[in-house]
Chain A
Amino acid sequence: MSEQKNKGLSRRGFMKGAAATAGAALGSGVITGFPTYWAQASKDITITHVGSIYTTNPTVAEQANKDLGFTVQMQTLDNTTLINRLLTQAETVDVADFGNTSMGYFKNKGVLMPIPVKEYKYWDQTVPLFTQGTYADGKPYSMQGYAPIKSQFWVDESAQEYSPTPTDWLVGIPVMYNADTLGVRPDLVPHKVTSWKDLLGSDFAGKVALQDGVNVGVPDAAVALEAAGLMTYVDKGNMTREEIDKTIDLLIELKRSGHFRSFWTNFDQSVQLMASGEVVLQSMFAPAVTEVRTRGIECQYLPLEEGSRGWYIFQSAMAHLDAGDKLRRDCVMEYMNWCNSGFNGVYFSRQGFYSSVPDLMKAQLPENDYGYWYEGKAATADIIDPFGKVMEKAGAVRDGGSLWDRMGNVGIWNTLMDEDRYLVRRWQDFMAA
């Protein structure tokens, strides 16, 4: 029942947004006056969008099929299958999304289509994180790790190398982003946590967890090691071999002393660890913290001295589109524009992710939701997620505050290091220890 009511609610928000953006975003065929033959011809086209559970789901697919004249088929895959699929069978995919940890794989591969900036309608309204490489106030952000600007632009139309400065060719359209930090069970910790170094503190021994892997877990550990004064790095997001060796050796020592309770591989494990009390302090994703809280368990997401770990998800089109049917390519561009225009952005904003075009969201989200998720305001009514579940009670304020309070202090970005090969090798030693 609440689900029904809620669908209505978001539909209303959606319609409101439609009016606000003067129809640029929606109902493409009718409003923007595409010739009818286009709609006629495109109705037989089915495009395939593969991605993670955050970006591909039946609710959004259903809405896309309603709004657009063609069919969008979505497939949710785990990251390994997704990247393998793109690299070995790109022609079976039209649109795909992935994050900064995967960007390093697409250089010099010829798998992705260069997206002309002028074909993406909302580039002017996109946050400067992506367009300029700065925060909203124009200040540059940390360049440790795979910062957004490092993989946003192709050098030229050949789509081989990333340009660190703006060009006319986009690698992908930024969809969502966020800043991650440590989650904590305030009821179970011995003292207030203010720095990443507490992750390594002896008073938390046996009760902390890291994400398993070299793209997120290692940067987190590096931030903690540096904060604890045990290490210094030139670039934590892109370590030298020597730094890797020292880091892994320190981590092995900690592991042998039983410091880590677990290493989680997926969202659900991180929630389980926290909710079941196995772990009281760990690096986790923002929605995971919310998820723990909705189970009636106290859990906080902490702004820390050293800043947060930022990440983003791009949506890219596959290179075969440029060589193939023009109509199909048009449909794909139409769909990618649609994805950031409203419904989809509203849908994931209400789960705690940030849209790359927050102004569009402001126009379409109910005021209370936008105030809570983006502006750091106290909720005036219960905050309800797109599925009808109460996420926060009225009066709640988002951990860490507004979009730019949270996003404005990124210490490091999710990464894929140049020495990945060596790092993976040493990470194996760590796991075996």
Chain B
Amino acid sequence: MSSMTVSPRAASWLQATPFTLIMTCLVMVPLAIIVSVSFMDFGFAEIIPEFYLGNWTDLLRSSLTFDTYKTVFRQLAIVWTITLLLGFTISYYLIFHVRSNMWRAIFLAACAIPFWTSGPIRMISWVPLLGREGLVNQALMGTGVIDQPISWLLYSEFSVIVVYVNMLTMAMAGPIANSMAKISPSIIQAARDQGASEWQVITEVIIPLIKPGIVVGTIFIITAVMGDGFLVRAMSGNQMNTPAVAIMNEINAFQFPPAAAKSVVLLLVVLGMVGLLLRFVDIRKELAR
């Protein structure tokens, strides 16, 4: 320790400085502007710098707020459940069943590759898949399962959920797989030796140990679903309104103050959810463990 010239605390500060600078200047300052703008009046594509509470009273009183949050929470619950189950299954398979490191890497890469195509292109590609004349309907009609194309495959809540699951399962699976990889094989072997079944190993050994992974994955899912407006708009055919979509609509109409107020509320809601999660599992404490 004598050779060290900086104290550990100072070292931490130094290490965090570039990150903190960027977050302060480029996130916190704009955020402060957003908060102050939410208390201003507005005209045609202009913010009128006068104190005005209308954005907040409208937001807190209207049924629109309630409706949009109801929609997004429903979507979040469904997406979270599916991605958790699917993500867990996939991670479990990759970590505990695939034995070769090479194959594991190849499988992981295979899961990541579809995400390296530009978002707008990926979004368009769902139409030829799920549309009335799309591949899925053609396959179903070809095999005689249906004789009329199903129209709720596209531009419906169904398509919104499907695309979310498609895009977010890996965001859940990744952190879970990481937590699983941390589990020492000897613990599982010990449980096995004592006669635990595979199911018991999963529920009594693995799940308690991968909580941090689940929490990180859940944070990804929450922020993605709550914060996204683009996907919902495209996949519902603009027929659904969530808080993020409402914000987008107002920004597209250059009505910044109400959009700012909605953003602040959304931010507080999501921060509250994340904070609550971290109360149960402190992912930072896990580091010191």
- Chain A interface residues toward B at CB < 8 A: 79-80, 83-84, 87, 104-105, 107, 109, 206, 209, 212-214, 255, 260-265, 268-269, 272, 276-278, 416, 420-421, 424-425, 427-429, 431-432
- State A272–B132 Cα separation when bound (angstroms): 11
Known: A278-B131, A416-B44. A263 touches B253 (CB 8 A): no
Known: A84-B254, A428-B249. A263 touches B237 (CB 8 A): yes
- State A209–B238 Cα separation when bound (angstroms): 10
- State A255–B241 Cα separation when bound (angstroms): 13
Of listed B67, B134, B240, B252, residue having the most chain A CB within 10 A = B252
Known: A277-B132, A420-B253. A104 touches B44 (CB 8 A): yes
Known: A421-B255, A424-B249. A431 touches B124 (CB 8 A): no
Q: How far is the CB of A133 from chain B (nearest CB, A)?
A: 23
B64 touches A262 (CB 8 A): no
A262 touches B241 (CB 8 A): no
B250 touches A424 (CB 8 A): yes
Residues of B within 8 A of A429 (CB): 64
- State A296–B45 Cα separation when bound (angstroms): 42
For B262, give the chain A residue with the smallest CB separation: A428
Q: How far is the CB of A277 from chain B (nearest CB, A)?
A: 5
Q: How far is the CB of A393 from chain B (nearest CB, A)?
A: 24
A278 touches B254 (CB 8 A): no
Q: List 10 A-B contacts (CB under 8 A).
A: A80-B252, A87-B45, A87-B254, A105-B45, A261-B237, A262-B239, A264-B237, A424-B249, A424-B253, A428-B241
B58 within 8 A of A: yes
A432 touches B71 (CB 8 A): yes
Residues of A within 8 A of B250 (CB): 424, 428
Other-chain residue from A263, A272, A416 in contact with B239 (beta carbon distance below 8 A): A263
B253 touches A212 (CB 8 A): no
A265 touches B246 (CB 8 A): no
Q: How far is the CB of A204 from chain B (nearest CB, A)?
A: 14
- State A264–B239 Cα separation when bound (angstroms): 10
B75 within 8 A of A: no
A262 touches B155 (CB 8 A): yes
Interface members, chain B 126-161 (any A CB < 8 Å): 127-128, 131-134, 151, 154-155
Known: A214-B253, A429-B64, A431-B245. A262 touches B238 (CB 8 A): yes
Q: How far is the CB of A271 from chain B (nearest CB, A)?
A: 10
B223 within 8 A of A: no
Other-chain residue from A83, A260, A264, A278 in contact with B132 (beta carbon distance below 8 A): A278
Question: What interface size band does chain B fall in?
Answer: 35 or more
Interface members, chain B 172-197 (any A CB < 8 Å): none
Q: How far is the CB of A314 from chain B (nearest CB, A)?
A: 16
- State A239–B68 Cα separation when bound (angstroms): 26
For B258, give the chain A residue with the smallest CB separation: A425
B211 within 8 A of A: no
- State A429–B68 Cα separation when bound (angstroms): 9
Known: A272-B124, A427-B249, A429-B64. A260 touches B239 (CB 8 A): yes
Interface members, chain B 40-55 (any A CB < 8 Å): 42, 44-46
Q: How far is the CB of A103 from chain B (nearest CB, A)?
A: 10
- State A269–B155 Cα separation when bound (angstroms): 12
Q: How far is the CB of A154 from chain B (nearest CB, A)?
A: 17
For B240, give the chain A residue with the smallest CB separation: A431
For A275, give the chain B residue with the smallest CB separation: B133
Other-chain residue from B58, B128, B155, B249 in contact with A431 (beta carbon distance below 8 A): B249
Other-chain residue from A83, A107, A432 in contact with B67 (beta carbon distance below 8 A): A432
Q: How far is the CB of B30 from chain A (nearest CB, A)?
A: 13
- State A228–B173 Cα separation when bound (angstroms): 53
A265 touches B238 (CB 8 A): yes
- State A209–B151 Cα separation when bound (angstroms): 14
Of listed B67, B240, B253, residue having the most chain A CB within 10 A = B253
B154 touches A278 (CB 8 A): yes
Q: How far is the CB of B121 from chain A (nearest CB, A)?
A: 11
Residues of A within 8 A of B151 (CB): 206, 261, 278
Interface members, chain B 229-244 (any A CB < 8 Å): 233-234, 237-241
B251 within 8 A of A: yes
Interface string of B212-241 (1 = CB under 8 A from A): 000000000000000000000110011111
Q: How far is the CB of B244 from chain A (nearest CB, A)?
A: 12
Residues of B within 8 A of A260 (CB): 239
A276 touches B155 (CB 8 A): no
Q: How far is the CB of B240 from chain A (nearest CB, A)?
A: 7
- State A264–B234 Cα separation when bound (angstroms): 8
Interface members, chain B 63-100 (any A CB < 8 Å): 64, 67-68, 71
Known: A105-B45, A263-B239. A83 touches B68 (CB 8 A): no
A272 touches B67 (CB 8 A): no
For B68, give the chain A residue with the smallest CB separation: A432
Q: How far is the CB of B137 from chain A (nearest CB, A)?
A: 10
Q: How far is the CB of A205 from chain B (nearest CB, A)?
A: 12
Known: A272-B127, A432-B68, A432-B71. A261 touches B241 (CB 8 A): no
Apart from A260-B239, A278-B155, A431-B249, what 12 extra A-B contacts exist at CB < 8 Å? A105-B44, A263-B238, A268-B124, A276-B128, A278-B154, A416-B44, A420-B253, A427-B249, A431-B238, A431-B246, A432-B67, A432-B246
Known: A109-B46, A276-B132, A416-B44. A264 touches B155 (CB 8 A): no
A276 touches B134 (CB 8 A): yes
